[in-house]
Structure 1
């Protein structure tokens, strides 16, 4: 059974399954979801807890022993299995599958993992966990969704701020939900319940954003010049390697040029997007970017990317490669 993060609370009010697996790239969301499951288990009589951390040297027979240990007082046990690498290995995968095939009636198994890629999500052991209970894949809010996420957190502490205040916080905690959580708690300590002004927000919230290449690609496709500039500055300050930045931008440029060329030949947009490996939510941003440019502009951007590559390799004239990254984005039609 697969659940979204926002469905977990209602599910736990109704029932409790024998197995839960929680995973995602954002540690805060994984911690909070796991805490909710632990609290629900305590309410239903799982008074004991055994923590197992599957690091190097871990003996997977411990999972079997934990399931078989009976409390002297007849209580039930929450088995808190943590796999920091997200890879239990062959022995671990077999142990997890065996447990899921024969779950203990006196235990609840909670497995926490980091984010998994699509190949890892097809693993037999993860499928066994899903079929034996509930799998919760936690997806952090993107920048467009982040103000609403922050507003919800403020409501929990009976506070609010206007759209400018929410946007100000979002831009400074982008890509770092744990820091966002801490900044929101700080607002709760500094100010009483009620409306918080933009000036109060600006005086309290630090710039704790984390920038990554995915955010750069989103800003490029969305045509968001402020975010593009902010992300490039952040990546430069964080010491990101210019070849990786160029790769991320060129991937989008090449896909745009490829699709534009196909559309000129009256090929199906859906087929072209599939061939360019543009899937899911990225399609919305990609289609908007297509509307902002023509094939000539896309091909010109490819030539610009090639010049930047020569700059990085020292085979072209002197210049600031980070300025060139920004020019590349602007030339693609960033608003």
Structure 2
């Protein structure tokens, strides 16, 4: 069964079997996982997490699902990564789906292309489990989700403020939510927020933003991108937000490379299409092929997997996005 974010929220109390979450919206992923975890905690359901580093890790996952601890009657396992199980693992997955015994397997993948969703792995889950798309298409849906976030912190935005927020963050719901938190702190005595309140709150927040970093990379200005990256790291910006912007630009460029005539359809704003096209002319197909592996390594480093430094991998990302040669000490 396919569900969107809102539909999935309603089914959390009855969740069992296999759920697979995929999409390009970290905020939706965070929210849904948080609500699932709260539900498990309220029901005293044991929770375990696995981070996929190889297809062989699926053996450990299914082994854990078949061996509850002495103190648990139900188990919820979170699996994070982007590696599908092999033939044996797929067989075990189908067996578990048929008889979950009240247990839940939640698989968290990045956004999947339509061709990938046609594989036996995804088709099995769609037919017998829950496939959740974590995307928010169009401004109306994005505003509806962000209004729920605003309700949580008890603030109200006027129409101009909503337009400014959505335009400024260009589909990044997580950054937009963080801006709502910032303006709530800055305007603690006021529940009614204007676009001027938002602009002042963000101007006070920092000299550079993660969006400035993305823009510098798209323009191929490595010196500026490096300067902004250092500023963000020194000012305590969350690595997940820095990575979100960098991988967003990489994924858009990869999609534009494959679909040069569909810039608007893949989510590039009309006034920014020339910037992306110019960036592509600066990049080689060989360099683009390295990006999925580089993004995966960075994601693992942020989660504490492996021994590479997140800062070094961020440098590799901005070197690559700018089309510059990566120095040996960071390669």
Q: Same fold (TM over 0.5)?
A: yes
- Superposed, 1:289-304 pairs within 5 Å as none
Q: Does 1:10 align with 2:52?
A: no
The aligned counterpart of 2:75 is: 77
Cα 1:71–1:153, aligned 2, differ >3 Å: closer, same or farther? Answer: same
The aligned counterpart of 1:113 is: 109
Q: Does 1:96 align with 2:88?
A: no
For residue 159 of structure 1, report the CA deviation from its aligned partner: 0.6
Preserved contact between residue 21 and residue 109 of structure 2 (Cα < 8 Å) = yes
Instruction: Tell me, in whole angstroms, the C-alpha distance in 1 between the residues paired with 2:182 and 2:83.
Output: 32
For residue 174 of structure 1, report the CA deviation from its aligned partner: 0.8
Cα 1:217–1:169, aligned 2, differ >3 Å: closer, same or farther? Answer: farther
Cα 1:58–1:122, aligned 2, differ >3 Å: closer, same or farther? Answer: same
Instruction: Tell me, in whole angstroms, the C-alpha distance in 2 between the residues paired with 1:4 and 1:220.
Output: 22
Q: Of 163, 166, 174, which residue of structure 2 is paired with 1:167?
A: 163
Instruction: Tell me, in whole angstroms, the C-alpha distance in 1 between the residues paired with 2:164 and 2:52.
Output: 40
RMSD: 3.2
Secondary structure in structure 1 of the residue aligned to 2:279: coil
- Superposed, 1:189-228 pairs within 5 Å as 189-192=185-188, 194-205=191-202, 208-209=210-211, 212=252, 228=270
Instruction: Tell me, in whole angstroms, the C-alpha distance in 2 between the residues paired with 1:134 and 1:2.
Output: 6
- 1:26-77 Cα offsets, whole Å, 9 max, x none, are 222223222222222222331x212122213643221221012222224321
| Count of matched residue positions in the alignment of Structure 1 and Structure 2 | 233
Preserved contact between residue 16 and residue 102 of structure 2 (Cα < 8 Å) = no
Q: Does 1:36 align with 2:35?
A: yes
Query: TM-score when scaled to structure 1?
Result: 0.59
Structure 1: tracts of 5 or more residues without a match? 245-335
For residue 153 of structure 1, report the CA deviation from its aligned partner: 2.0
Preserved contact between residue 3 and residue 130 of structure 2 (Cα < 8 Å) = yes
Query: TM-score when scaled to structure 2?
Result: 0.60
For residue 165 of structure 1, report the CA deviation from its aligned partner: 1.0
- 1:272-298 Cα offsets, whole Å, 9 max, x none, are xxxxxxxxxxxxxxxxxxxxxxxxxxx
Cα 1:34–1:56, aligned 2, differ >3 Å: closer, same or farther? Answer: same
For residue 111 of structure 1, report the CA deviation from its aligned partner: 1.3
Please say which structure displays the higher CA radius of gyration.
1
Cα 1:140–1:243, aligned 2, differ >3 Å: closer, same or farther? Answer: farther
The aligned counterpart of 1:26 is: 25
Instruction: Tell me, in whole angstroms, the C-alpha distance in 2 between the residues paired with 1:208 and 1:142.
Output: 22
Cα 1:150–1:196, aligned 2, differ >3 Å: closer, same or farther? Answer: same
Q: Of 55, 58, 61, which residue of structure 2 is paired with 1:60?
A: 58
Instruction: Tell me, in whole angstroms, the C-alpha distance in 2 between the residues paired with 1:234 and 1:29.
Output: 28
Q: Does 1:140 align with 2:136?
A: yes
Preserved contact between residue 17 and residue 97 of structure 2 (Cα < 8 Å) = no
The aligned counterpart of 2:44 is: 45
Instruction: Tell me, in whole angstroms, the C-alpha distance in 2 between the residues paired with 1:74 and 1:29.
Output: 29
For residue 89 of structure 1, report the CA deviation from its aligned partner: 4.2
Preserved contact between residue 17 and residue 102 of structure 2 (Cα < 8 Å) = no
Structure 2: tracts of 5 or more residues without a match? 204-208, 212-244, 284-331
Secondary structure in structure 2 of the residue aligned to 1:199: helix
Preserved contact between residue 79 and residue 106 of structure 2 (Cα < 8 Å) = yes
Preserved contact between residue 74 and residue 102 of structure 2 (Cα < 8 Å) = yes
